[in-house]
Amino acid sequence: MRRAVCPGSFDPITNGHLDIIARASRLYDEVYVAVMINKAKQGLFTIEERIALIEQVTSEFGNVRVEAFHGLLVDFCKQRDIPAIVKGLRAVSDFDYELQMAQMNNGLSGVETLFVPTNPTYSFLSSSLVKEVAQWGGDVSHLVPEPVLRSLREKLGRG
Ligand SMILES: O=C(O)c1ccc2[nH]nc(Br)c2c1
Ligand SMILES: O=C(O)c1ccc2[nH]nc(Br)c2c1
Protein backbone atom coordinates (compact mmCIF):
# COMPACT_ATOMS: atom_id res chain seq x y z
CA MET A 1 0.00 0.00 0.00
CA ARG A 2 1.74 3.13 -1.24
CA ARG A 3 0.90 6.09 1.00
CA ALA A 4 1.62 9.82 0.84
CA VAL A 5 0.76 12.82 3.00
CA CYS A 6 -0.23 16.35 1.92
CA PRO A 7 0.42 18.59 4.96
CA GLY A 8 -0.85 22.13 5.49
CA SER A 9 -3.05 24.41 7.55
CA PHE A 10 -5.84 24.47 4.95
CA ASP A 11 -7.49 27.50 6.55
CA PRO A 12 -9.47 27.00 4.30
CA ILE A 13 -8.75 24.51 1.52
CA THR A 14 -8.51 26.25 -1.88
CA ASN A 15 -8.82 25.01 -5.46
CA GLY A 16 -5.02 25.06 -5.58
CA HIS A 17 -4.78 22.66 -2.62
CA LEU A 18 -7.52 20.47 -4.03
CA ASP A 19 -5.66 20.18 -7.35
CA ILE A 20 -2.51 18.92 -5.56
CA ILE A 21 -4.48 16.45 -3.44
CA ALA A 22 -6.36 15.18 -6.51
CA ARG A 23 -3.09 14.60 -8.40
CA ALA A 24 -1.52 12.88 -5.37
CA SER A 25 -4.60 10.65 -5.02
CA ARG A 26 -4.01 9.43 -8.60
CA LEU A 27 -0.35 8.61 -7.85
CA TYR A 28 -0.72 6.83 -4.50
CA ASP A 29 -2.98 4.11 -3.10
CA GLU A 30 -3.79 6.24 -0.05
CA VAL A 31 -3.32 9.96 0.59
CA TYR A 32 -3.43 11.50 4.06
CA VAL A 33 -4.27 15.18 4.30
CA ALA A 34 -2.58 16.29 7.53
CA VAL A 35 -4.14 19.45 8.96
CA MET A 36 -1.60 21.18 11.13
CA ILE A 37 -2.74 22.33 14.58
CA ASN A 38 -0.96 25.58 15.29
CA LYS A 39 -1.82 26.84 18.80
CA ALA A 40 0.09 30.05 18.17
CA LYS A 41 -2.16 31.07 15.28
CA GLN A 42 -5.93 31.49 15.66
CA GLY A 43 -7.26 30.58 12.21
CA LEU A 44 -10.50 31.73 10.62
CA PHE A 45 -11.81 28.13 10.59
CA THR A 46 -11.47 25.71 13.49
CA ILE A 47 -9.52 22.49 12.93
CA GLU A 48 -12.83 20.59 12.94
CA GLU A 49 -14.32 22.90 10.29
CA ARG A 50 -11.21 22.58 8.11
CA ILE A 51 -11.26 18.78 8.37
CA ALA A 52 -14.99 18.63 7.56
CA LEU A 53 -14.55 20.85 4.49
CA ILE A 54 -11.57 18.84 3.21
CA GLU A 55 -13.45 15.55 3.72
CA GLN A 56 -16.45 16.95 1.87
CA VAL A 57 -14.49 18.09 -1.19
CA THR A 58 -12.18 15.03 -1.39
CA SER A 59 -14.71 12.26 -0.69
CA GLU A 60 -15.15 11.65 -4.44
CA PHE A 61 -11.48 10.54 -4.73
CA GLY A 62 -12.17 7.51 -2.52
CA ASN A 63 -8.61 7.19 -1.15
CA VAL A 64 -8.11 10.37 0.90
CA ARG A 65 -7.96 10.38 4.72
CA VAL A 66 -8.05 13.67 6.61
CA GLU A 67 -6.48 13.96 10.07
CA ALA A 68 -5.32 16.72 12.39
CA PHE A 69 -1.77 16.63 13.67
CA HIS A 70 0.58 18.67 15.83
CA GLY A 71 4.28 18.30 16.36
CA LEU A 72 6.68 16.91 13.77
CA LEU A 73 5.34 15.87 10.38
CA VAL A 74 7.93 13.07 10.26
CA ASP A 75 6.43 11.58 13.43
CA PHE A 76 2.98 11.67 11.80
CA CYS A 77 4.52 9.84 8.82
CA LYS A 78 6.36 7.26 10.96
CA GLN A 79 3.22 6.44 12.99
CA ARG A 80 1.27 5.73 9.78
CA ASP A 81 4.05 4.13 7.71
CA ILE A 82 4.00 7.01 5.17
CA PRO A 83 7.28 7.29 3.19
CA ALA A 84 6.39 10.31 1.05
CA ILE A 85 5.30 13.91 1.49
CA VAL A 86 3.64 15.57 -1.51
CA LYS A 87 3.63 19.36 -1.73
CA GLY A 88 2.63 21.87 -4.36
CA LEU A 89 5.11 24.42 -5.67
CA ARG A 90 3.54 27.63 -6.95
CA ALA A 91 6.64 29.64 -7.82
CA VAL A 92 10.40 29.79 -7.33
CA SER A 93 9.74 31.77 -4.15
CA ASP A 94 8.19 28.65 -2.57
CA PHE A 95 11.23 26.55 -3.33
CA ASP A 96 13.74 27.96 -0.84
CA TYR A 97 11.70 27.19 2.23
CA GLU A 98 10.33 23.92 0.87
CA LEU A 99 13.84 22.66 0.02
CA GLN A 100 15.00 23.39 3.58
CA MET A 101 12.02 21.54 5.05
CA ALA A 102 12.45 18.60 2.66
CA GLN A 103 16.12 18.25 3.52
CA MET A 104 15.41 18.51 7.24
CA ASN A 105 12.62 15.91 7.07
CA ASN A 106 14.72 13.54 5.02
CA GLY A 107 17.66 13.96 7.37
CA LEU A 108 15.46 13.35 10.43
CA SER A 109 13.65 10.30 9.16
CA GLY A 110 14.36 9.34 5.55
CA VAL A 111 10.87 10.51 4.54
CA GLU A 112 11.03 11.83 0.95
CA THR A 113 9.31 14.97 -0.33
CA LEU A 114 7.84 15.06 -3.85
CA PHE A 115 7.01 18.44 -5.39
CA VAL A 116 4.11 18.94 -7.76
CA PRO A 117 4.17 22.12 -9.88
CA THR A 118 0.81 23.80 -9.28
CA ASN A 119 -1.58 24.36 -12.16
CA PRO A 120 -0.57 27.86 -13.39
CA THR A 121 -4.18 28.95 -12.83
CA TYR A 122 -3.54 28.75 -9.10
CA SER A 123 0.05 30.06 -8.93
CA PHE A 124 -1.06 33.19 -7.09
CA LEU A 125 -3.44 31.42 -4.74
CA SER A 126 -3.11 31.02 -0.97
CA SER A 127 -5.58 30.58 1.90
CA SER A 128 -4.57 33.91 3.40
CA LEU A 129 -5.15 35.80 0.14
CA VAL A 130 -8.56 34.17 -0.30
CA LYS A 131 -9.56 35.23 3.25
CA GLU A 132 -8.28 38.75 2.69
CA VAL A 133 -10.21 39.20 -0.56
CA ALA A 134 -13.38 37.55 0.78
CA GLN A 135 -13.50 39.69 3.91
CA TRP A 136 -13.54 42.85 1.76
CA GLY A 137 -16.35 41.49 -0.36
CA GLY A 138 -14.23 40.31 -3.32
CA ASP A 139 -15.47 37.42 -5.47
CA VAL A 140 -13.52 34.24 -4.63
CA SER A 141 -16.11 31.85 -6.10
CA HIS A 142 -13.63 30.59 -8.75
CA LEU A 143 -10.82 30.09 -6.21
CA VAL A 144 -12.37 27.77 -3.63
CA PRO A 145 -14.72 24.75 -3.75
CA GLU A 146 -18.44 25.53 -3.36
CA PRO A 147 -18.75 24.30 0.28
CA VAL A 148 -15.81 26.53 1.27
CA LEU A 149 -17.41 29.51 -0.45
CA ARG A 150 -20.62 28.94 1.52
CA SER A 151 -18.69 28.68 4.81
CA LEU A 152 -16.68 31.82 4.01
CA ARG A 153 -19.87 33.74 3.32
CA GLU A 154 -21.39 32.49 6.60
CA LYS A 155 -18.30 33.46 8.58
CA LEU A 156 -17.59 36.77 6.89
CA GLY A 157 -21.11 37.63 5.82
CA ARG A 158 -19.67 38.82 2.48
CA GLY A 159 -17.66 37.68 -0.53
O1 LIG B 1 -2.44 24.91 3.62
C2 LIG B 1 -1.23 25.17 3.67
O3 LIG B 1 -0.69 25.83 4.58
C4 LIG B 1 -0.33 24.61 2.56
C5 LIG B 1 0.96 25.13 2.45
C6 LIG B 1 1.80 24.65 1.46
C7 LIG B 1 1.36 23.64 0.60
N8 LIG B 1 1.97 22.97 -0.42
N9 LIG B 1 1.13 22.05 -0.96
C10 LIG B 1 -0.02 22.13 -0.29
BR11 LIG B 1 -1.48 21.03 -0.68
C12 LIG B 1 0.06 23.11 0.73
C13 LIG B 1 -0.80 23.59 1.73
O1 LIG C 1 -2.44 28.20 0.67
C2 LIG C 1 -1.23 28.37 0.89
O3 LIG C 1 -0.78 29.10 1.80
C4 LIG C 1 -0.22 27.63 0.01
C5 LIG C 1 1.15 27.87 0.22
C6 LIG C 1 2.10 27.24 -0.58
C7 LIG C 1 1.66 26.35 -1.58
N8 LIG C 1 2.34 25.59 -2.49
N9 LIG C 1 1.46 24.90 -3.26
C10 LIG C 1 0.24 25.20 -2.84
BR11 LIG C 1 -1.30 24.44 -3.59
C12 LIG C 1 0.29 26.12 -1.78
C13 LIG C 1 -0.67 26.77 -0.99
Looking at the chain, the whole-number percentage of residues with pLDDT higher than 70 is: 99
Pure H helices in 67-135: 73-79, 92-109, 127-135
Q: What is the DSSP letter of 37?
A: P
Pairwise pLDDT comparison (83 vs 39), residue with the higher score: 83
What confidence score (pLDDT) does residue 71 get? 95
Q: Which of 17, 23, 50, 131 is catalytic?
A: 17
10 Å Cβ neighbour count for 99? 13
Considering every ligand atom shown, identify the ligand nearest to the alpha carbon of residue 45 and give its number.
Answer: 1
Asked whether 16 lines ligand 1 (CB < 6 A), one says no
For a pocket test of ligand 1, which of 17, 50, 95 has the largest count of ligand atoms closer than 8 A to its C-beta? Answer: 17
Is 17 among the catalytic positions?
Answer: yes
> Are the CB atoms for 54 and 22 separated by under 8 Å?
no
Flag whether the ipTM exceeds 0.95: yes
Rounded mean pLDDT, 104-115? 98
- Which H or E run includes 81? none
Q: 126-141, pLDDT tens digit by residue?
A: 999 999 999 999 999 9
pLDDT surpassing 50 at residue 17: yes
Residues at CB less than 6 angstroms from ligand 2: 14, 16-17, 20, 88-90, 94, 118, 126-127
H helix or E strand, kind and range, residue 27: helix 15-27
CB of 8 closer than 6 angstroms to any ligand 1 atom: yes
pLDDT band, very low/low/confident/very high, at 158 (cuts 50, 70, 90): low
Question: Strand order of the sheet with strand 64-69?
Answer: 64-69, 30-36, 3-8, 84-89, 112-117
Q: Is 109 annotated as a binding residue?
A: no
**Residue 4 Cα, ligand 1 centroid: separation in angstroms?**
14
Q: What is the rounded average pLDDT of the residues 63-84?
A: 98
Protein residue whose Cα sits closest to atom 9 of ligand 2: 88
Residue spans per domain, the chain: 3-123
CATH number of 3-123: 3.40.50.620
Mean of pLDDT values over 47-76: 98
